[in-house]
Structure 1
Amino acid sequence: MTDKPTVGFIGVGLMGHGMAANILKGGYPLYIKGNRNREPVEDLVSKGAIEVTSPKEMAALCDVIHLCLPNSDSVEAAMRGDDGIMAGGKAGLIVVDSSTANPTSTVALAAELQARGMHMVDAPLGRTPKEAEAGMLDAMVGADDAIFEKVLPIIDCWAGIINHVGPVGSAHKMKLIMNFISMGYAALYAEALSIGVKSGLTPQKINDVIGASRLSNGFFETFMSCAVGRDMEAHKFSITNASKDVHYAAAMASDARALNPVGAAAMQYYSYVESIGKGSDNLPQLADHVAQLNGFDMAEAVKNGAE
């Protein structure tokens, strides 16, 4: 037996699997609910997790529930309804949403939970599945001080850097600012590659010169490892997720009455790729689609640049 709180985890995909595995390593009893991909579910069950069939069932069994889902619609579906967390949870339950979500939705859900004596924490993530498996993600946390102290030991299982940003909703706002920058980088890098290649430079030379300069960063390195190095596993984040994030950031800007012309321009690339049915492509493959719009094949340009 353990005196640690019982934890639930919904969404054990690319990021969630590593997070859940590290919660298990931390000695917490863990219930999980997976999706269509059975591999991570079965792996976690083999490590000691118990699978449940609904968020309602999980809520009745747990003290803290983590969500790591694709969007706010998915989060709301897990929270509300006859089989949702709110239907099964008891007073004192804490829901930690690690999705990249719409802050307006987060604040609304927090109010609904509070009315039932439950609590909401937003704790979106930074970094990649590799850091998720290593327990070294970045975490931004939105919660009042007392609830933050309760969930901190659990978050510490899967995060290397933890920033308490402010009250509920503030961490999702911070995450959208971060993703606005990173998705802006991706659109800028994709366009820069096309301009350079159309002007007679090779993709390799663009990568080498910028990569050795002060303009380089970790995001640039993984993006170019895929776009130029053609390693399709280097930066696993879908264009659909990128599109969702820039749309959420645009909504946040609109709510704040803040100008967002750069975001609006970047959004067009993501919306275009989704419109042609390629939203499941990884983010750096945006460079391939921008190249096609410019009349050339990026993979062919990379091949020619190596000759």
Structure 2
Amino acid sequence: MRMTGRRRGKRRCQQMTKERIGFIGVGLMGHGMAKNIVEKGWPLTVMGHRNREPVEDLKSRGAQEAHTPKELAEQSDIVILCVTGSPQVQAVMQGPDGLAAAGKELLVIDCSTSEPSVTTRLAEELAPQGITLIDAPLGRTPADAAAGTLDVMVGGAPEMVKRARPVLEAFSSRIIETGPTGTGHTMKLLNNFLSMGYAALYSEALALGAKAGLTSQVFDNVVRGGRMDCGFYQTFFRYVIERDRNAHKFTIRNGFKDMSYLSAFANAVGLANPVGAAVRNSFALAVGTGHGDDYVPMLSDIIAKTNGIE
């Protein structure tokens, strides 16, 4: 939608009092987050990837576009990252066109699901260059990102979290401070362990019930509204019962990546995690059979098919 002169003037007045925000990773989650940032008056610069549609949408709402992380850093005071994981975060930060190459002070907020040990190491490496890295991974779904109702788990020095909070509030309804940098990503892995664990449990329980002649509708009638009901259950079963493919748009490949990070984290602290290994195996099976780009609730179909159930 084209902005009127009055709206543009109001937007400029708002932006004069706000820090400049850069955003890298305007995918399923990032697009909704960035939309809320620019629509709530923050000066926004985005960097696109292969999909041009979200970039063009954000530009139509008043955002600017940069073509390299360095260029984006030069136009920003705070940079938000919402990419796949630690390798992508490091690639954006480092190299001749990376954020650090701009040679300026920055607050970088990593909203990706990254490996905690990499986050803490990277924060230490960037500090002498004037770059502060804090971690602020997300809970909930792309629909919540668009609605501005995400959960954020934020780790960092208190003064940096205080500085970041107004920006985080643009796309979230709950912000939970977890401690120093790295603790946000640790909590996110634990949170995703629970959700991916639920997905694996639901999928096997449905397959086992089907073998015994119980339909998914009967299963849902028993669980829904009871003590085992929860928000994740409801989005998962919106696909199972209603076949809504967009009910929970989080890929199986990303679930497998997160469970692999959890395994590495458990090994690093010397913890045996047999349940985590079992959950990871369920997702490894799905990825290995070519279903990595399917969404997590579709794991129920994959486990059923593996067992000869339609």
- TM-score, normalised to structure 2, is 0.94
Q: What are the equivalent positions in structure 2 for 1:214-253 lying under 5 Å apart? A: 214-253=227-266
Question: Which residue is equivalent to 1:207?
Answer: 220
Question: Which residue is equivalent to 1:300?
Answer: none
Indicate whether 1:53 and 2:75 are aligned.
Answer: no
Does the aligned pair in 1 maintain the 2:20–2:75 contact within 8 Å? Answer: yes
Instruction: Give, as a single letter, the amino acid of the residue that structure 1 aligns with 2:78.
Output: V
Q: CA deviation at 1:227?
A: 2.0
Question: Which residue is equivalent to 2:33?
Answer: 19
CA deviation vs aligned residue, 1:121-153 (integer Å, no higher than 9, x gap): 100001111111111110110110111111111
Question: Which residue is equivalent to 1:86?
Answer: 100
Instruction: Give, as a single letter, the amino acid of the residue that structure 2 aligns with 1:62.
Output: S
Instruction: Give, as a single letter, the amino acid of the residue that structure 2 aligns with 1:63.
Output: D
Question: Which residue is equivalent to 2:284?
Answer: 271
Question: Which residue is equivalent to 2:23?
Answer: 9
Q: What are the equivalent positions in structure 2 for 1:141-180 lying under 5 Å apart? A: 141-180=154-193
Instruction: Give, as a single letter, the amino acid of the residue that structure 2 aligns with 1:267.
Output: R
Q: State the aligned residue count.
A: 296
Q: CA deviation at 1:229?
A: 2.2
CA distance in 1 between partners of 2:147 and 2:203 (Å): 30
Give the SS at the match of 1:105. helix
Question: Which residue is equivalent to 1:115?
Answer: 128
Instruction: Give, as a single letter, the amino acid of the residue that structure 2 aligns with 1:255.
Output: A
Does the aligned pair in 1 maintain the 2:32–2:142 contact within 8 Å? Answer: yes
Give the SS at the match of 1:273. helix
CA distance in 2 between partners of 1:23 and 1:288 (Å): 37
Q: CA deviation at 1:211?
A: 1.2
Does the aligned pair in 1 maintain the 2:153–2:175 contact within 8 Å? Answer: yes
Give the SS at the match of 1:106. helix
Instruction: Give, as a single letter, the amino acid of the residue that structure 2 aligns with 1:179.
Output: N
CA 219–261 in structure 1, closer or farther in 2 if over 3 Å, else same: same
Unaligned stretches of 5+ residues in structure 2:
1-11
Indicate whether 1:69 and 2:83 are aligned.
Answer: yes
Give the SS at the match of 2:169. helix
Instruction: Give, as a single letter, the amino acid of the residue that structure 2 aligns with 1:81.
Output: G
Instruction: Give, as a single letter, the amino acid of the residue that structure 2 aligns with 1:22.
Output: N
Indicate whether 1:36 and 2:83 are aligned.
Answer: no
Q: CA deviation at 1:293?
A: 1.2
CA distance in 2 between partners of 1:181 and 1:84 (Å): 34
Identity between Structure 1 and Structure 2 (%): 47
Give the SS at the match of 2:176. strand
CA deviation vs aligned residue, 1:144-179 (integer Å, no higher than 9, x gap): 011111111111111100011101000000000000
Does the aligned pair in 1 maintain the 2:69–2:92 contact within 8 Å? Answer: yes
CA distance in 1 between partners of 2:55 and 2:148 (Å): 18
Let me know the Cα RMSD of the aligned residues. 1.0
CA distance in 1 between partners of 2:42 and 2:238 (Å): 37
CA distance in 2 between partners of 1:261 and 1:183 (Å): 14
Give the SS at the match of 1:228. helix
CA distance in 2 between partners of 1:276 and 1:155 (Å): 38
CA distance in 2 between partners of 1:165 and 1:4 (Å): 26
Give the SS at the match of 1:99. coil
- TM-score, normalised to structure 1, is 0.94
CA 89–208 in structure 1, closer or farther in 2 if over 3 Å, else same: farther
CA deviation vs aligned residue, 1:2-22 (integer Å, no higher than 9, x gap): 031111000011111111111
CA deviation vs aligned residue, 1:28-72 (integer Å, no higher than 9, x gap): 111000111111100000000001100011111211000000111
Unaligned stretches of 5+ residues in structure 1:
298-307
CA distance in 2 between partners of 1:253 and 1:81 (Å): 30
Instruction: Give, as a single letter, the amino acid of the residue that structure 2 aligns with 1:88.
Output: A
Does the aligned pair in 1 maintain the 2:210–2:309 contact within 8 Å? Answer: no
Q: CA deviation at 1:89?
A: 4.2
1:131 to 144, 148, 159: 144
Q: CA deviation at 1:281?
A: 0.5
